[in-house]
Amino acid sequence: MAKVKFVKAAAKDHPNYGIKKGESYYWWQNNRFSPKRMSKTQPRASETASSDFESVVCGLLESVEDGVNYFKDVDTVSDDIESITSDIESCRDEEQEKLDNMPEGFQQGPAGERIQERIDNAESAISELEAINTDKEDEETDEDFLTRVKDEAIAALGNSF
């Protein structure tokens, strides 16, 4: 994740970002070779992620936390878990492909180890997601059920990076 810096007052206009001189803004850069990014609002983790894997996982986590696309209806909880699991499986497969396409020497180096760690974390998240009980208990209200499943999904995703 990139370190985010806050500027109280812009010294000049930044029209590409809608920032005018004197306005406060945030800026971040993933590494010294990547472009500087700016925003009037504090960026979310998915925006500052240093890899595609982290960006997707953070985006899923944010979407689940916000209740944007998931866990709105008791009848679709299983589908929501399957969708999230499928997205993590796709990320894992992409990381595995990256690792497989690396020269053998690099696979044993820091970059290969980092990719292997992402694969392992994705496997762990997939196992945790698949273990979530998506059956509503008799004593659970719809709201309690949705909250329980959502919290378990957040915990599973949070452990994946």
Q: Tens of pLDDT along 122-147?
A: 999 999 999 999 998 888 899 999 99
Question: Where exactly are the structural domains of the chain?
Answer: 4-43, 52-158
Q: What is the pLDDT of residue 8?
A: 95
Strand partners, 28: 4, 37
The answer to whether 10 and 39 are in contact (CB under 8 A) is no
Strand partners, 7: 25
Categorise residue 95: left if φ over 0, alpha if ψ from -120 to 50, beta otherwise.
alpha
pLDDT at 161 over 70: no
HSE-CB of 151 using CA atoms within 13 angstroms: 6
Q: Tens of pLDDT along 29-57?
A: 887 888 889 999 999 988 888 888 888 88
Q: What is the 3-state secondary structure (H, E, C) of 118-134?
A: HHHHHHHHHHHHHCCCC
